[in-house]
């Protein structure tokens, strides 16, 4: 068995100069498109035929080329044939079919959002390679950074993949792919209906201003009564929450003073969102003593206490009410606040009245809220009360997103969104 960590960085920048000779959404010359596909097919055959190349090197090259071709598909808005890396003599597994369909969905979402990318670059980092006889497992982090035309700062998306390969007739073939993306985990079993996802009705305007103002007034009254009883209300500094989200959004910059959930079928989205809210209440990212000591602005009301809200550097170092790590747990905790210790706020459907530092929750199916993102920016001209999905930038974990337009994220463009409006923190 071979077990080692290896890092590889591949960075390619698509320069703005090309914008004058290429269309907005990629290369349209069919000959060039065919050349790209042909190049990868030739490279794959060369890898298979190279008897001097060791297995681990072949595996790395194959996985590298698989994700590079996927990125080229996204860049050029062209569905290149990713199945050349799979065993096409049999019907593809649901995971491999999903991988291909998700690549198609990403292209379709990009086209629908009509974004113009001025430059981009990608990085492929091999986290681990394990080879056991005729089987291999590769863990890889694929990072994609790009600059949109109407955005001041670059956007970033990073996803962890686990790729399984098998040596079949002396050729290493990809037989399974899983990712840490919350959308992928939720949709893997029943697949992707691209047309339905693209044409889902928007839920942005389903709640009236009267309803939202009534919620705000109710929470305000509760907090005023709590203060009269001697509670101290700590305000929410939204800029601090945003700064934390942007700094710690990627795998390479995550805050190692907190546990990071990335095991199979685990996601880190609400854990990260809670960290951002915690920072907005004055939490110091570098203070491991305060974090592990559950110091304010965390609240330690006991392991099973209803108003406990904390997380340490230990796995599952959080209360049993799951207020820190569960989307539904955080939502319920926030709504129950305002009269007792801990953060408080209110929830409403849509994003029209959202603010920086608010948490957006996504509902993909009947199983409740499945993903959390933190609002870190708005497009120029966006106004409170009339914000739309194509005006909001978010940052999140699982997969990693930093300053990404909401409408370009699979699952967020057409599904039901809820905004958790953060109020304050009582102590």
pLDDT tens track for 322-341:
999 999 999 999 999 988 89
Q: Quick check: 74 pLDDT over 90?
A: yes
Does the residue 193 lie in any domain? no
Residue 124's pLDDT is what? Answer: 97
Q: Quick check: 30 pLDDT over 70?
A: no
Give the list of residues 6+ apart from residue 251 with CB closer than 8 angstroms, or none.
Answer: 141, 143, 158, 160, 400
Q: Quick check: 232 pLDDT over 60?
A: yes
Q: Quick check: 150 pLDDT over 50?
A: yes
* pTM > 0.85: yes
Average the pLDDT over each of 26-35, 211-220, 329-338, 416-425 and give the range with the smallest value: 26-35
Do 166 and 214 reside in the same domain of the chain?
no
Bigger pLDDT: 408 vs 411? 408
Q: How many CA atoms lie within 13 A of 299 on its CB side?
A: 26
Write out the DSSP string of 139-200.
EEEEEEEEEETT-SS-EEEEEEEEEEEEEETTEEEEEEEEE--HHHHHHTTT---HHHHHTP
Does the residue 364 lie in any domain? yes
Q: How many angstroms separate the Cα of 268 from the Cα of each of 104, 236, 366, 371?
A: 25, 22, 21, 9
Reported as a single tens digit per residue, the pLDDT across 283-326 is 999 999 999 999 999 999 999 999 999 999 999 999 999 999 99
Q: Which domain holds residue 62?
A: 2-179
Q: Quick check: 126 pLDDT over 70?
A: yes
Strands 359-365 and 342-349: what pairing?
A: unpaired
Contact 416, 362 (CB under 8 A): yes
Q: Would you place residue 413 in the very low, low, confident or very high pLDDT band (cuts 50, 70, 90)?
A: low
Q: How many angstroms separate the Cα of 322 from the Cα of each of 40, 216, 357, 391, 411?
A: 46, 25, 21, 31, 23
Q: What is the mean pLDDT of residues 92-112?
A: 94
Domain boundary among 158, 179, 200: 179
Does the residue 137 lie in any domain? yes
Residue 32's pLDDT is what? Answer: 65
Tell me how far apart the alpha carbons of residues 273 and 250 are, in angstroms, rounded to a whole number.
13
Tell me how far apart the alpha carbons of residues 6 and 136 are, in angstroms, rounded to a whole number.
15
Domain boundary among 157, 179, 201: 179
Q: What is the mean pLDDT of residues 378-390?
A: 92
Residue 51's pLDDT is what? Answer: 93
Do 154 and 216 reside in the same domain of the chain?
no
Residue 369's pLDDT is what? Answer: 83
Do 132 and 19 reside in the same domain of the chain?
yes
Do 282 and 419 reside in the same domain of the chain?
yes
Residue 7's pLDDT is what? Answer: 44
Q: Quick check: 366 pLDDT over 80?
A: no
Residue 349 sits at the vertex; the CA angle it makes with 352 and 390, to the nearest 5 degrees, is: 40
Reported as a single tens digit per residue, the pLDDT across 176-229 is 999 999 999 988 888 888 888 887 655 545 678 899 999 999 999 999 999 999
Residue 370 sits at the vertex; the CA angle it makes with 368 and 371, to the nearest 5 degrees, is: 140
Does the residue 147 lie in any domain? yes
Radius of gyration (C-alpha) of the chain in whole angstroms? 23
Do 128 and 249 reside in the same domain of the chain?
no
**What's the structural domain count of the chain?**
2
Does the residue 201 lie in any domain? no
Bigger pLDDT: 192 vs 268? 268
Residue 34's pLDDT is what? Answer: 78
Bigger pLDDT: 147 vs 414? 147
Q: Would you place residue 31 in the very low, low, confident or very high pLDDT band (cuts 50, 70, 90)?
A: low
Do 113 and 238 reside in the same domain of the chain?
no
Residue 214's pLDDT is what? Answer: 94
Residue 341's pLDDT is what? Answer: 93
**What are 351's two structure tokens?**
């994003």
Q: Quick check: 355 pLDDT over 50?
A: yes
Contact 237, 280 (CB under 8 A): yes
Tell me how far apart the alpha carbons of residues 373 and 83 are, in angstroms, rounded to a whole number.
32
The end-to-end CA distance of the chain, in Å, is 54
Write out the DSSP string of 274-300.
HHHHHHHTT--TT-HHHHHTT-TTSB-
Q: What percent of the chain has pLDDT over 90?
A: 75
CATH classification of the domain holding 61: 3.10.450
On average, the pLDDT of the chain sits at 89
Question: Which residues, in sequence order, are bridge partners of residue 19?
Answer: none
């Amino acid at each position: 068995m071979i077990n080692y960590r290896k890092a590889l960085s591949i960075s390619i920048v698509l320069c703005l100069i090309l914008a004058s000779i290429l269309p907005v959404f990629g290369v349209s010359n069919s000959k060039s498109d065919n050349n790209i596909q042909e190049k990868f097919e030739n490279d794959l055959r060369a890898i298979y035929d190279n008897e001097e190349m060791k297995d681990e090197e072949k595996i790395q090259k194959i996985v590298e080329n698989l994700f590079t071709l996927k990125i080229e598909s996204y860049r050029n808005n062209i569905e290149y044939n990713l199945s050349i890396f799979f065993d096409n003599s049999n019907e593809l597994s649901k995971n491999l079919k999903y991988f291909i369909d998700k690549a198609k969905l990403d292209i379709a979402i990009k086209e629908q959002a009509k974004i113009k990318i001025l430059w981009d670059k990608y990085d492929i980092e091999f986290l681990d390679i394990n080879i056991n006889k005729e089987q291999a497992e590769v863990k890889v982090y694929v990072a994609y950074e790009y600059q949109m035309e109407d955005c001041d700062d670059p956007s970033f998306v990073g996803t962890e993949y686990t790729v399984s390969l098998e040596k079949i007739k002396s050729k290493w073939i990809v037989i399974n792919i899983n990712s840490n993306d919350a959308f992928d985990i939720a949709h893997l079993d029943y697949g992707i209906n691209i047309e339905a996802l693209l044409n889902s009705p928007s839920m942005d305007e389903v709640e009236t201003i009267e309803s939202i103002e009534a919620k705000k007034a109710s929470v305000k009254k509760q907090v005023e009564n709590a203060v009269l009883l001697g509670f101290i209300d700590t305000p929410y500094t939204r800029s601090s929450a945003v700064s934390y989200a942007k700094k710690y959004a990627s795998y390479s910059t995550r805050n190692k003073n907190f546990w990071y959930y990335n095991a199979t079928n685990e996601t880190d989205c609400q854990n990260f969102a809670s960290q951002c809210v915690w920072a907005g209440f004055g939490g110091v990212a570098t203070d491991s003593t305060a974090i592990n000591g559950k110091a304010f602005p965390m609240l330690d009301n006991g392991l099973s206490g209803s108003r406990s809200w904390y997380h340490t550097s230990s796995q599952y170092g959080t209360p049993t009410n799951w207020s820190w790590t569960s989307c539904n747990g955080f939502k319920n905790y926030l709504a129950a606040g305002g009269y007792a210790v801990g953060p408080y706020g209110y929830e409403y459907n849509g994003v029209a009245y959202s603010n920086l530092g608010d948490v957006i929750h996504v509902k993909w199916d009947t199983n409740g809220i499945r993903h959390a993102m933190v609002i870190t920016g708005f497009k120029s001209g966006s106004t409170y009360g009339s914000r739309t999905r194509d005006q909001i930038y978010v940052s999140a974990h699982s997969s990693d997103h930093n300053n990404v337009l909401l409408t370009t994220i699979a699952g967020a463009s057409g599904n039901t969104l809820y905004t958790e409006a953060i109020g304050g923190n009582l102590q």
